């Protein structure tokens, strides 16, 4: 009998309750039960109470909360230059006992995530979905340089942009780090695990090269060409994916298909970017239909969790100091 699927989250106090909403959706969609590892520096009492409520409602799943007050924070020598909490996923990898699907807290699980967990890894130890927000630049530059060299205004600024923000990172297969399937025993056997989890080397390399995207750039730099593909629908980056891109001349056929599949049946919605569904924003009115529907799905899950726990979960998402 095979082990149940394993999922993991890492978060600080400010992301505790958004992560709880994501966890609630994951447990609701998991048909056979699952194992979940939660890593944080300090879980507030209300979070623990809400988590106990989820445990009672989903006894078929096992949830392990790990509190580690030694997670790198303000006392780190580079804390004045980077947000250390954005690199805690490296600490999560260190303690993973087995293969796990690591999920960001700003997500909502729409279908049984066991399918994502079973993504074939082949010879690799990591799988992730493409980040077409950046691959788009790669394909745009390639297209106009090859077919329309006289239209320099369509691509001439792209090399400078990529050199500034993605120096030495191949973009053709650039992946998003919000949802990552990682087989840590397999990675440890290859000898790459210690380097992946080396925070100091990660941070010094980031600062040296001027990268913008925390451990996402580090993973893409280290494992370029060695990341198994995961379907875009399991990391549907809702604020970065725009339907108009499917109509661009430079968008390759495989990207169009991924967009179409994701639009039709998203498995995990990922609210990457600054716009988050738990925040009250006057600019909600300028969201497109796809964004509004995704926000509505998240808010319905938060309302359902509020009823189950007797707490105003959306309010707690906006109050990182809630005790």
Is residue 271 a contact partner of residue 239, using CB atoms and an 8 Å limit?
yes
Q: Is 268 left (phi over 0), alpha (psi -120 to 50) or beta?
A: beta
* pLDDT per position as a tens digit, 257-289: 888 888 889 999 999 888 899 987 655 666 778
* pLDDT per position as a tens digit, 96-143: 999 999 999 999 999 999 999 999 999 999 999 998 877 777 888 888
**Local structure of residue 84 (DSSP, 8 states):** G
* pLDDT per position as a tens digit, 201-212: 999 999 999 998
- Report pLDDT for 285: 63
* pTM (predicted TM-score): 0.92
Q: What's the CA gap between 257 and 188, in Å, rounded?
A: 34
Tell me the percentage of the chain whose pLDDT exceeds 70: 94
* pLDDT per position as a tens digit, 26-70: 999 999 999 999 999 999 999 999 999 999 999 999 999 999 999
Q: At what angle do helices 45-57 and 16-29 cross, to 10 degrees?
A: 0
- Report pLDDT for 283: 59
Indicate the average pLDDT of the chain: 90
Higher-confidence residue of 171 and 30: namely 30
CB contact set of 224 (below 8 Å; sequence gap of 6+): 169, 170, 173
- Report pLDDT for 87: 95
- Report pLDDT for 201: 95
Is residue 115 a contact partner of residue 233, using CB atoms and an 8 Å limit?
no
Residue 322 has pLDDT above 80, yes or no: no
Residue 170 has pLDDT above 80, yes or no: yes
Higher-confidence residue of 112 and 239: namely 112
Which residue in 45, 54, 52 sits closest to 26, CA to CA?
54
Higher-confidence residue of 124 and 244: namely 124
* pLDDT per position as a tens digit, 177-203: 999 999 999 999 999 999 999 999 999
Strand order from edge to edge, sheet including 6-11: 62-67, 35-40, 6-11, 99-103, 175-183, 126-130, 228-229
CB contact set of 87 (below 8 Å; sequence gap of 6+): 72, 199, 202, 203, 214, 215
Number of H helices, E strands in the chain: 13, 10
Buried b (16+ CB within 10 A) or exposed e, 212-232: ebbbbbbbbbbbbeebbbbbb
- Report pLDDT for 171: 82
């Amino acid at each position: 009998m095979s082990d149940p699927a394993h999922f993991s989250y890492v978060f600080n106090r400010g992301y505790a309750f958004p992560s709880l909403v994501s966890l609630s959706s994951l447990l609701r969609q998991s048909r056979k039960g699952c194992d979940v590892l939660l890593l944080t520096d300090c879980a507030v009492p209300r979070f623990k109470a809400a988590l106990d409520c989820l445990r009672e409602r989903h006894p078929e799943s096992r949830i392990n909360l790990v509190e580690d007050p030694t997670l790198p924070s303000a006392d780190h020598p580079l804390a004045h230059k980077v947000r250390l909490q954005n690199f805690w996923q490296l600490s999560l990898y260190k303690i993973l006992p087995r293969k796990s699907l690591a999920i960001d807290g700003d997500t909502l699980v729409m279908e049984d995530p066991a399918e994502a967990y079973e993504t074939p890894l082949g010879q690799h130890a990591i799988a992730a979905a493409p980040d077409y927000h950046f691959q788009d630049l790669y394909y745009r530059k390639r297209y106009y340089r090859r077919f329309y060299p006289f239209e320099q205004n369509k691509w001439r600024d792209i090399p400078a942009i990529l050199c500034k923000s993605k120096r030495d990172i191949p973009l053709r297969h650039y992946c998003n780090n919000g949802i990552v399937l990682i087989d840590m025993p397999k990675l440890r056997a290859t000898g790459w695990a210690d380097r992946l989890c080396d925070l100091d080397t990660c941070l010094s390399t980031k600062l040296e090269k001027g990268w913008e995207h925390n451990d996402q750039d580090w993973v893409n730099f280290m494992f370029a060409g060695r990341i198994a593909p995961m379907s875009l629908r399991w990391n549907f980056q809702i604020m970065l994916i725009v339907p108009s891109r499917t109509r661009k001349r430079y968008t390759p056929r495989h990207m169009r298909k991924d967009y179409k599949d994701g639009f039709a049946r998203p498995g995990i919605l990922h609210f990457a970017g600054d716009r988050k569904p738990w925040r009250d924003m006057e600019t909600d009115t300028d969201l497109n239909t796809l964004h509004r529907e995704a926000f509505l799905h998240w808010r319905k899950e938060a309302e359902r969790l509020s009823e189950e726990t007797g707490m105003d979960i959306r309010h707690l998402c906006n109050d990182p100091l809630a005790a």
